Each structure stands twice: as C-alpha cells, then as structure tokens.
Structure 1
C-alpha cells in the first residue's frame, strides 16, 4: 500500500509541476508578445513629454558679445550631454522597471475601481435620480402648477395700451 500511495503523491506533484510550467509559459509568452509591440524608436508617440526638451541649446546659451572660450563651450556641451544621459540611464536602470510596475498596478487598480465600483454606482445613482425626478415633477405639478396656471390666466387677461405723452 505504501508504494501505491507514494506513486500517487509523485504523480500529483508531477501534475502540479506541469500545470505550473504551463502557467508560467503562458505568462512569459504574454510578456513576450507585449514586448514585441513596443516601438523602440519613437518612445513618445503621443508627445506626452515634449516639455522635457533638455537639449544643451534649450538650457544653456551665450548671447552675442559674451562668449566663453571655445574649448570650454565644447567641453561643457559634452559634459552636459554625458552627465544627463548617464544619470538618466543609471536611474532608469535602477528604478525604471519598478516604477513602471508601480504605475501599471495603479492604472490596473483605477480600471478595476471604475469597472467594478464607480460605473455600477453611477448607474445606480442614475436609476435613483430618475425616480427622484419623477417624484419632484409630481410635487411641482401638484403644488406650483395651480399657482403658475392662475398667474398665467391673470396675466393673459391684462391688456396694455400705449399712450403717447
């Protein structure tokens, strides 16, 4: 009986391992298909961050009449671009993936809230407000309707004449 029980445990573990492997394979294929769709050339197709134009010429400029030495200006250009590019790449290397994961989770949570909470709540509110609109209209028709109708009849019987003076 012990070997049969052991064989059952092994086959159950093998089945679980196979299911886990299939699940991971699906996840990785999803990640790879998503990665294939990323445009590595135009990384801001919607111009979200055009305001972050940080070319050397957009940040530093020497007006006519006051110039540094040419070697200082050339080396400043090189140092500016090197420092900006190196620091940006190091920061994105260390933090970019985690920040992207964070924002992905935030937008997933926002989508979940809208799909499962906010939109249904708004629909309930619309349904209840339709009932309230009907109730309010009935009250206005009952209470204010006769007064407005009377005022209308009273004012419609008035005749205005113009006299020159």
Structure 2
C-alpha cells in the first residue's frame, strides 16, 4: 500500500483540512480596524477630556499645546507598546477561549439542554395529568357557579 492510502485524510464540510491558511484568503483591513463599531466609546481625544471654560481660567498657550501633544503621543505610544507586548499572547488566549467556549456550547451544553428538555417532558405529562385530575374539576365547578352572573350598569 502506498503511504497516501494508509494516511488519514481529515475533511471539514468535504474540504480537506490543512494548516496553511484558515482565513480562506480573507485579508485584514489595516485602515478600518473597527468595522463593526465595537469601540465607539473608546474614541477619546484631548478635547473630549480637557476643556478650559472661559478666558479667566485659560492656561498658558505653551502649556495647552504641550499638554495636547503629550496626551496624544503618550496615549498612542502606550497603546502601541502595550499591544506589542500583550497583543499576540492575548490573541492566543482569546482564540483558545472562544474555541473552548464553542466546543462546550456544541458538544456539552446544547446536548445537555436537549436531554434535560426530554427528561422534563415526562415530568410535564405527570404534572398535566395531576392538574387535569385534581384542579381542573374544581375550577370548572367554580366557573359554573359564576357563569350566569351578569353585571348591569344602573
């Protein structure tokens, strides 16, 4: 036998599984990095945080310019350095987390909920039988007692 005949071919949706590229040619947009508008609340600029209300409480122009430049650059570079250090490990972590979450939802929770619903079907039938045997006749009698009562406006 040839080696290819004895090897196991893994397929997903009748497509051969490889580890080459799971993105299927989809490329990341390097300009629009939040296309779903997930982080609109994080779009914070200098003027969203700082504002001097009127000329009586203005700081020196030099201070205002430098505060603007420092705020903008420190925010940018802190984010870049933090994402450089933590971005890839966190991408691995969140990829694993969502993979495990998907696995649990597909292979654990949904089958459990289906089995639970089937098991509760038996309890439901018993409960319905009890209600029909004991409570329904009482409520029907009470309904017949009040059946002919009519309220008239005087």
Question: TM-score interval w.r.t. the shorter chain?
Answer: 0.7 to 0.9
Q: Distance in 1 between matches of 2:143 and 2:49?
A: 71
Alignment partner, residue 68 of structure 1: 59
Alignment partner, residue 9 of structure 1: none
The equivalent position to 2:82 in structure 1, one of 65, 88, 91, is: 91
Question: How many residues of Structure 1 are paired with residues of Structure 2 in the alignment?
Answer: 136
Q: TM-score by structure 2 length? A: 0.76
Structure in which a larger fraction of residues adopt helix: 1
- Deviation track 1:103-146 (CA, whole Å, cap 9, x = no partner) reads 11111111111101111111112112222221111111111233
CA RMSD across the alignment: 2.5
- Deviation at residue 161 of structure 1 after TM alignment: 8.7
Whose Rg is larger?
1
The equivalent position to 2:114 in structure 1, one of 120, 123, 126, is: 123
- Deviation at residue 75 of structure 1 after TM alignment: 1.6
Q: Which runs of 5+ in 1 are unaligned?
A: 1-11, 13-25
Q: Distance in 2 between matches of 1:38 and 1:126?
A: 42
1:70–1:140 Cα change, 3 Å: same
Alignment partner, residue 112 of structure 1: 103
Q: Distance in 2 between matches of 1:96 and 1:143?
A: 64
- Deviation track 1:88-113 (CA, whole Å, cap 9, x = no partner) reads 11110011111111111111111111
- Deviation at residue 152 of structure 1 after TM alignment: 3.2
Alignment partner, residue 123 of structure 2: 132
1:4-153 to 2 correspondences below 5 Å: 26-27=18-19, 29-30=20-21, 33=23, 36-65=26-55, 66-153=57-144
Alignment partner, residue 8 of structure 1: none
Q: Which runs of 5+ in 2 are unaligned?
A: 4-17
